[in-house]
Structure 1
Amino acid sequence: MNVSDGDVVDWAHFEKARAELGPGFIRILSYFREDGQKSVAAIEQAMREQNTVALVIPAHTIKGEARQFGADPLATVAELIENTARLCIETRRFPDELVADVVKLRQLWEATIGMFDEATNPLKSRPGQSGGFGRRANNQNFGRL
């Protein structure tokens, strides 16, 4: 899967979460932004420091939060990082094989947040919605012969 694909966010799941969370949706989405940014940075730092234990909690955090908003590809990569790190802790080795996945995690994170920002921007019209301020009037021929 390419990060530029339209498969980064399950919009039906996203809209379901928006409906279920109601007025608290934007606040909870902002928590996801804050926690996710910290989690991605912590995972990258753990990889630089070769600290396998430090990979687990931030990967677990971003996995759960991403699934809540329909960002399954992001959650899947985070889950792979979490599970691989847990296995490597048991076998007492560092998961060098996760370097490409951590890079992919960053790319998916940025793509996901960009799409969420666009979907929640009150100044942009959403698909399926029409009208609003500045719309073109449909009655331009009213009163003309």
Structure 2
Amino acid sequence: MGHMDAKLIDPAGFAQARTELGAGFVRILGYFREDGTKSVLAIEEAMRNRNATALVLPAHTLKGESRQFGAERLGDMAEEIETVARRCVEYHESPEELIETVVEIRNCFNETLVELEKASSPLVARKPAVFGRRPEGAAPSFGRM
């Protein structure tokens, strides 16, 4: 199963995170943005340097934080980077096989943030107001009939 086969955001995982984090959800999502940005930069830098050891920790961190919010695809990509990097360290290999995944991870991270922030916005649940006319079939709520 390729990364693109995984859902960008698992709705059940996202809902669980919102419930568990409660009022702190938006604040923690902000931390995810900051930490995730640092992790992606560290992954890219480690790949440029062909340093498998330096890939492990930021990939591990990004994996855990992504899965906390139900970000399946990003979590899967980070897990692949972490797993392959650990193997490369153990066998003294270059992590070259990860180039495509490392190149894709920034776009996936950005796309994931957009979706998480859109889904967590208090404006998402609101319906646009209809001024001047009542929507068809709506009962009057105040004023004259």
- Specify the TM-score bucket, using the shorter chain as the normaliser: 0.7 to 0.9
Count of residue pairs the alignment pairs up: 136
1:89 matched to which residue of 2?
89
Q: Residue deviations 1:3-51, cap 9 Å, x none?
A: 6x89200122101110111111111111111111100010001111111
- Residues of 2 paired with 1:135 and 1:16: CA distance? 33
2: CA distance, partners of 1:49 / 1:108: 22
Which runs of at least 4 in structure 1 moved beyond 6 Å after TM superposition?
none
2:129 to 130, 134, 144: 134
Query: Which ranges of structure 2 fall in alignment gaps of 5 or more residues?
Result: none
Gaps of at least 5 residues in structure 1 are none
Secondary structure at 2:101's aligned position in 1? helix
Equivalence for 2:51:
51
Matches within 5 A, 1:13-24: 13-24=13-24
TM-score scaled by length of structure 1: 0.83
Going from structure 1 to structure 2, the CA distance change for 1:2 and 1:54 (only over 3 Å counts) comes to closer
The percentage of aligned residue pairs carrying the same residue is 47
Measured in 1, the distance between the counterparts of 2:79 and 2:3 equals 18
Q: Deviations over 1:88-132 (max 9, x none)?
A: 111112110100011221121111001012112233x23xxx65x
Gap change, CA 1:97 and 1:6, over 3 Å in 2: closer
Q: Secondary structure of 1:7's partner?
A: coil
Structure 1 vs Structure 2 CA RMSD: 2.2
What residue in structure 2 maps to residue 120 of structure 1? 120
TM-score computed with the length of structure 2 as normaliser: 0.83
- Indicate if the aligned counterparts of 2:3 and 2:76 stay in contact, CA closer than 8 A: no
| SS of match in other structure, 1:8 | coil
